Amino acid sequence: MARRVASAVGVVMAGVALTTCTSSKTSNPLSPSVAGPIPGVNISAPQTVDPASGTKVAVDKQPVTLMVNNAATSGVRPLTYVFEIATDTGFTNKVFSRDGIAPGDGRTSVRLPEALSTGRTYYWRARAQDGANTGPYSDPASFNVFTPIVIDQPAPISPISNVRIDSLHARFTVGNAPRSGPAGAISYVLELATTDNLANKIAIWTFGEQPSQTNFDPPQDLAYSTQYFWHVRASDPTTTGPWSATQVFQTPVPPPPPPPPGPPPLGGGGGGPAPGDALNLHLATIRNSPGDVANWPATATLTRLDIGSNGVHIEHTKQNGPGSWPDVPFGDGNLQYTLWIVLNINGQWYASGCIEYWRGRPEAGGPPSQYAQNWYYDPIRWAPMTGHQPAPGEQVGFLVTAGDARNNGLALVKERSQVVLVPFPRDGGASFTFSSGALPFFRR
């Protein structure tokens, strides 16, 4: 009887021990058998770091890596992370989901196993969980996968290899630039210079692409006997490609001067000077102005020429009063006449109308020492007069013509003054007066 009681007591004690052990095991928060959330445990949302909202990811820079700042927990169980990517803000259409991501030190990241499709926007988020408790999702971030536009160098075709072209009106030809991605309309920028580093640019032109290869005809002629350097690059509205290799070519040599004129006829026609001309305009090369000016009748007499610190002041007999030259339209006003300069460069005379005058304009052109930079500054229009600074005492010709002679402008009457020849002054200036002949009376 005593043995049975002892056995019963042993069974009861064993049952108590078993119950105590089970209760201890299920109250352990680290136990994998914990079912349901643990009261009092809060898990915060992680913070998205990369890619940040609005990031653009090139299709060739994939697969994407997602990164968050770690969540915080008030519990003792270790966290793991869930990452999701969808094509909509409601995360109905998921393209990637992975859980069980072990946390990193302060930040946790996961690299996608493969590239995403290009040309669309993706939304991603993450949350942390400890096996019993689950934290909220992070605020979703978006990124866009795109195909980048790549524009390569165009291929210069002509003129190249230091060839001498046969015309001052060059034609540039380039093989179209290779490109990839969703490029828009392609245009080209061509830079032209007289130095191989293209520092001394004389023109920058922009023109549209043509099928297969692109031709461009500049709006202005180039200068004789000049070596030019050029390169070109392509762009669309968002992307600019690299410059092509620099190319070089030469322009033709100038034609030989005309033969010496015969006896001068009256009025300056037929190759001879007009009465009163100090030099024969028929022997001058005309740049950027009417080429037949030598044949215009000299109806005006240049009576005074002042070359001073503010420019050139002119007086002539067709300036005011009855019979004066008519005004011609110019911009928002009118012009009456144009001052011409005649220069001897390496034994050859060159002439061009450079400064336009309206009624009442006092002086124009700047001081004598700034002649080269203020007057014939553009080599496309005025070479070789461009950059020629007359030395003090150098003989320089002057005349005036009716209307606008610059850039072959409008002249209602083709009339001019006599051509005078004066020694070019220093910046102190000089004044000259003339009669119907071309010889000046000089006074300082």
Residue 245: closest CA among 374, 373, 157: 157
Dihedral-angle region of residue 120 (phi above 0 means left; psi in -120 to 50 means alpha; beta otherwise) = beta
Tell me: pLDDT of 124 over 80.
yes
Task: Assess whether 290 and 403 both reside in one domain.
Answer: yes
Task: Assess whether 113 and 222 both reside in one domain.
Answer: no
- How many CB atoms sit inside 10 A of residue 330's CB? 16
Structure token digits, residue 393: 């005492």
H or E segment and range at residue 396: strand 395-402
Rounded to 5, what percent of the chain is helix, strand, coil? Answer: 10, 35, 50
Tell me: pLDDT of 11 over 90.
no
Tell me: pLDDT of 408 over 70.
yes
Domain span including residue 88: 47-146
Task: Assess whether 376 and 420 both reside in one domain.
Answer: yes
Average predicted confidence (pLDDT) for the chain: 87
pLDDT bracket for residue 60 (50, 70, 90): confident
Amino acid 386 reads: T
How confident is the model at residue 4, as a pLDDT?
A: 42
Would you say residue 73 lies in a domain? Answer: yes
Would you say residue 13 lies in a domain? Answer: no
Would you say residue 293 lies in a domain? Answer: yes
How confident is the model at residue 63, as a pLDDT?
A: 95
How confident is the model over 319-363, as pLDDT tens digits?
998 999 999 998 878 999 999 999 999 999 999 998 999 988 888
The share of the chain scoring above pLDDT 70, in percent, equals: 87
Residue in the structure block whose two tokens are 């990241």: 109
Tell me which of 94, 123, 146 is where a domain ends.
Answer: 146
Task: Assess whether 309 and 407 both reside in one domain.
Answer: yes
Dihedral-angle region of residue 427 (phi above 0 means left; psi in -120 to 50 means alpha; beta otherwise) = alpha
Beta bridge partners of 15: none
Task: Assess whether 201 and 342 both reside in one domain.
Answer: no
How confident is the model at residue 37, as a pLDDT?
A: 84
Task: Assess whether 428 and 288 both reside in one domain.
Answer: yes
pLDDT bracket for residue 53 (50, 70, 90): very high
Would you say residue 26 lies in a domain? Answer: no
Beta bridge partners of 309: none
Residue 290: closest CA among 169, 406, 379: 406
Task: State the total domains in the chain.
Answer: 3
Beta bridge partners of 96: 85
Task: Assess whether 277 and 139 both reside in one domain.
Answer: no
How confident is the model at residue 36, as a pLDDT?
A: 72
| CA atoms of 401 and 418, how far apart (whole Å) | 10
Structure token digits, residue 1: 């009887």
DSSP state of 298: E
Beta bridge partners of 84: 97, 125
Task: Assess whether 158 and 106 both reside in one domain.
Answer: no
Would you say residue 5 lies in a domain? Answer: no
Q: Which residues contact 188 (CB under 8 A, 6 or more apart)?
A: 154, 174, 177, 206, 207, 208, 209, 214, 216, 232, 233, 234, 235
Tell me which of 193, 219, 250 is where a domain ends.
Answer: 250
Would you say residue 263 lies in a domain? Answer: no
| CA atoms of 424 and 443, how far apart (whole Å) | 13
Whether pTM > 0.75 for this model: the answer is no
pLDDT bracket for residue 27 (50, 70, 90): low
Task: Assess whether 154 and 284 both reside in one domain.
Answer: no
Task: Assess whether 415 and 275 both reside in one domain.
Answer: yes
Would you say residue 243 lies in a domain? Answer: yes
Handedness of CA 41, 47, 48, 54 (dihedral sign): positive
Would you say residue 21 lies in a domain? Answer: no
Tell me which of 146, 162, 179 is where a domain ends.
Answer: 146
Tell me: pLDDT of 208 over 60.
yes
Residue 138: closest CA among 65, 37, 66, 44: 44
Whether the Cβ atoms of residue 230 and residue 218 lie closer than 8 Å to each other: no
Task: Assess whether 135 and 209 both reside in one domain.
Answer: no
Task: Assess whether 244 and 383 both reside in one domain.
Answer: no
Q: What is the CATH number of the domain that holds 70?
A: 2.60.40.10
Residue in the structure block whose two tokens are 């913070």: 47
By DSSP bridging, strand 141-146 and strand 55-58 are: parallel
